[in-house]
């Protein structure tokens, strides 16, 4: 499984506006809902609620400036993702206590345990590389961020 299989080139927010976890989850849920091909495939409020419930269990901020909020919806039939970047960083209740700069939202169909876990494992592997994370932070725009992901994705 490749990240480019579930991350579209236009599903990147190079400059998140939200300054808090709740703001960013809401912003990214609305962004992803607006970009789905089938009208109504993702309801922004329903997605936000699913993500917020998941965050109540434990923060999805895995450290090193990365968060991978994720959840499942009945209304979609395939795995989709979105990437947001906060240049200044935001509090996301990270396990290392540091600000989060890269937020990769992952949404899976409700009946897809295996693919959901494979995608999380793939993202974790990519984001372990400090040089890769730095290239994403320094990328000029969303297109450059996507190309960086595609290049790194092709290595594995």
pLDDT at 41: 80
Q: Is 70 a catalytic residue?
A: yes
- pLDDT tens readout for residues 97-121: 999 999 999 999 998 878 888 999 9
Q: Domain 3-154 carries which CATH code?
A: 3.40.930.10
17, 70, 101, 116: the catalytic one is 70
User: What pTM, to 2 d.p., does this model score?
Assistant: 0.94
Q: What's the rounded Cα separation, in Å, for the pair 27 and 103?
A: 11
Residue 38 has pLDDT above 80, yes or no: no
Q: Taking residues 38-60, what's their average pLDDT?
A: 89
Domains of the chain by residue range: 3-154
pLDDT at 40: 61
pLDDT at 144: 97
Of the chain, the percentage scoring pLDDT greater than 70 comes to: 97
Residue 37 has pLDDT above 80, yes or no: no
């Amino acid at each position: 499984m490749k990240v480019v299989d579930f991350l579209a080139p236009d599903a990147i927010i190079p400059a998140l506006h939200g300054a808090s976890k709740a703001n960013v989850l809401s912003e990214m849920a609305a962004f992803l809902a607006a970009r789905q091909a089938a009208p109504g495939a993702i309801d922004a409020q329903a997605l936000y609620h699913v993500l917020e419930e998941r965050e109540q269990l434990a923060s999805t901020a895995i450290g090193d400036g990365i968060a991978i909020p994720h959840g499942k919806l009945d209304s979609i039939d395939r795995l989709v993702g979105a990437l947001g970047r906060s240049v200044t960083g935001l509090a996301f209740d990270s396990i290392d206590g540091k600000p989060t700069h890269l937020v990769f939202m992952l949404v899976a169909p409700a009946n897809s345990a295996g693919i959901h876990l494979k995608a999380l494992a793939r993202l974790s592997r990519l984001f372990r590389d400090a040089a890769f994370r730095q290239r994403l932070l320094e990328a000029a725009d969303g297109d450059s961020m996507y190309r960086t992901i595609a290049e790194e994705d092709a290595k594995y």
